[in-house]
Amino acid sequence: MTKILSEKQLTGHDDSHITWLDERTGIHQQALSAWIAMSEEAKSAGLDLKIASGYRGFDRQLTIWNRKFSGQLPIKNQQGEILNIEVMTEQEIINAILYFSALPGASRHHWGCDIDIYAANLLPANQKLQLEPWEFAADGPFYLLSQWLAKNACRFDFYLPYDKFRGGVAIEPWHLSYWPIAQYGEKRLTLNCIEAVILKAEISGKNEIMRQLSKIYQNYIQNIGSIHYG
């Protein structure tokens, strides 16, 4: 039997575990049937579930990281304001990026069992999908989806690792994780494993990342919610 996630798949360097639903959207082969079953049940509850972002490889995450670090992509703070990175230390920039974007090699989207979802039929016609917390809050368009997920996702072995802010990654009420695979990823993605990947990468802020790596590992990678049934 093949492994659920190989070392390369864990860090986004191999996508052979992925089934592609369309050109951009991939999901771990062994999470597909649970996703379909959950989507069908959601449909009968009036929710048309869609994946906004599924599998993401290392290079794509690296591009996001480097563009944010250099200022080509804006970095926002917790209030949604754009930060002026000119006046920030490298350490501050790294922490600000990590609030919204994973360290390349340590994104759960590499695993393919983690997906960002929304309900297409709840998105107002004149509104673009943002994937921001207000959309899933009590007066946002996806509140019904949030409520449905809180009650039903665990029946399909999905849960929300970023269900609330824990001092590391921001709340992400759209980010679902399929536990039978994710538990394996969480166990196997060690600090050593990430260190080896960062050392080899052309990543901006590398020296400072390496200095902070064990803190980053604790605060942004391990500091997450877990599945609770019932």
* Cα 199 → chain centroid: 22
Of 17 and 175, the one with the shorter C-beta distance to Zn ion is 175
Q: Between residues 90 and 116, which has the closer beta carbon with respect to Zn ion?
A: 116
The one segment of 7-15, 108-116, 139-147, 218-226 that binds Zn ion by CB under 5 A:
108-116
CB 142 within 8 A of CB 135: yes
Question: In the numeric block, which tokens belong to residue 212?
Answer: 């902070």
Per the CB < 8 A criterion, the answer to whether 67 and 59 are in contact is: no
Exactly one of 175, 204, 209, 220 binds Zn ion (CB under 5 A); which one?
Answer: 175
Which window, 78-86, 87-95, 171-179, 209-217, contacts Zn ion (CB under 5 A)?
171-179
Q: Residue 69 or 174: which CB sits closer to Zn ion? A: 174
- Asked if 163 and 110 count as a contact pair (C-beta separation under 8 A), the reply is no
| Span from 18-26, 59-67, 142-150, 167-175 in contact with Zn ion (CB under 5 A) | 167-175
Give min distance, CB of 175 to Zn ion, in A: 4
Q: How far is the CB of 190 from Zn ion (least distance, A)?
A: 21
In the complex, minimum distance from the CB of residue 89 to Zn ion, in angstroms, rounded to a whole number: 27
How many positions of this chain bind Zn ion (CB under 5 A)?
A: 2
Note the helical H segments in the chain: 7-10, 32-44, 58-70, 90-100, 133-136, 143-152, 179-188, 191-200, 206-216
Burial class of residue 58, CB neighbours in 10 A (0-12, 13-18, 19+): buried
Question: Which residues on neighbouring strands pair with residue 176, listed in sequence order?
Answer: 115
Q: Which is nearer to Zn ion, 63 or 91 (CB)?
A: 63
x/- track of binding to Zn ion for residues 109-148 (CB under 5 A): -------x--------------------------------
CB 224 within 8 A of CB 179: no
Is residue 17 a contact residue for Zn ion (CB under 5 A)? no
Give the binding site for Zn ion (CB under 5 A).
116, 175
